[in-house]
Structure 1
């Protein structure tokens, strides 16, 4: 892999590309296609290498691109704002990110990665001012109450006789993995605890977990509680004691994530570093 892609969905679709290796002054080309037909292509230069694009889907026939301001004496680049007819219909979109140059030198062989994004329907509900959305079969994301963190939880199906996998990813509001993150995770099924890990510490903002072998394929309850930012033994800062709680429910042969209660504010989207993922239809 040459690029990581993190994205969020709300009123806008935000694509954040970051090179796997730490490089600066990067020339990017981004191509979005659907059903094998190119919809949009654009080249960008980003001083710190981490390209952020905010896309507003419209029904117009043309695209506009603004933003990309120089920040800190050209040490970084602000987000680019794009509006146009993309991500506004259901279907599979191919997003290709290509590094074409580094430090103003064109690469003889560009470095490209392709990501597949499926636009599908979503469920939405309002609970006490919290906008909540089901983000596909296995994923849910929320923003912390202070807006500084985005927490994504991704699970496999609960299947009798098998362990269920859970991935917790914590990023900053800039869509960069949060370092030195702390959280608790507890999962229960039929009133029995099948996973309990308190005081999880991750240097890179991502944790992988496995439950005990499940006794049934019944629904499971998952709770992840943020416990601040900081190394073990140090004073923690940031969001603490804020919980994401949801129910993984078998429905029509699939798994639907239904948020039951949360102490954090609105869900906005999925954040993923996968080649294939699900985005709710706007």
Structure 2
């Protein structure tokens, strides 16, 4: 086995091993979409929220009609925030044996949502010509990763409650009731 290789990897391929248990605990709720033909479902999940000055890590999953991660997936990814491209890569190959494929954008300009376009390019080993790949090819799905507002909503709610308690305690309304 070559240095840097993991069991199940073909020669010439390098990868990052992600611990699926840790990854599941970090994952935000993602979205799934079927590739036309229904043979493959594509899922995109953000590992955190979009934040100004920070990159955003995205988990891309490709599952069969039974919900199992598929292997030897070929795809292109295009991520933009507004009119700015924050990640673009063509010809990605993922095994998905240990979990979804991961991509990381460059630092984002704002905390606004990002749009993710995934173009499925079929199943096959790296270097397999397009015409020899199985499954649909050239099919694109688009997602919008909207930031979670749960934390902000809780902070606003706490501030409102504290303000109400402070105002009512100073005005003596609670003593009259």
TM range, smaller chain? 0.5 to 0.7
1:251 Cα deviation from its structure 2 partner: 7.0
Q: Specify whether residues 148 and 217 from structure 1 end up closer, same or farther in structure 2 by C-alpha distance, changes over 3 A only.
A: same
1:236 and 2:133 matched: yes
Higher strand share: 1
- Runs of 4+ residues deviating >4 angstroms: 250-255
Where do residues 89-108 of structure 1 align in structure 2 (5 Å cutoff)? none
Partner of 1:150: 41
The TM-score with structure 1 as length reference comes to: 0.39
From 199, 210, 222, give the equivalent of 2:91.
Answer: 199
1:168 and 2:60 matched: yes
Structure 1 Cα separation of the partners of residues 151 and 79 of structure 2: 19
Partner of 1:128: none
Q: Specify whether residues 250 and 170 from structure 1 end up closer, same or farther in structure 2 by C-alpha distance, changes over 3 A only.
A: closer
Partner of 2:81: 189
Corresponding pairs, count: 121
Structure 2 Cα separation of the partners of residues 163 and 248 of structure 1: 14
1:211 and 2:102 matched: no
Structure 2 Cα separation of the partners of residues 223 and 241 of structure 1: 12
Partner of 2:120: 226
CA contact (8 A) 2:50 2:112 kept: yes
Write out per-residue CA displacement over residues 68-106 of structure 1, whole angstroms, 9 at most, x where no aligned residue. Answer: xxxxxxxxxxxxxxxxxxxxxxxxxxxxxxxxxxxxxxx
Structure 2 Cα separation of the partners of residues 165 and 238 of structure 1: 27
Q: Specify whether residues 147 and 167 from structure 1 end up closer, same or farther in structure 2 by C-alpha distance, changes over 3 A only.
A: same
The TM-score with structure 2 as length reference comes to: 0.61
Structure 2 Cα separation of the partners of residues 247 and 254 of structure 1: 20
Structure 2 Cα separation of the partners of residues 220 and 147 of structure 1: 25
Instruction: List alignment gaps of at least 5 residues for structure 1.
Output: 1-136, 256-282
1:138 Cα deviation from its structure 2 partner: 3.9
Partner of 1:246: 143
Q: Specify whether residues 147 and 171 from structure 1 end up closer, same or farther in structure 2 by C-alpha distance, changes over 3 A only.
A: same
1:187 Cα deviation from its structure 2 partner: 0.6
Partner of 2:30: 139
Instruction: List alignment gaps of at least 5 residues for structure 2.
Output: 1-27, 153-177
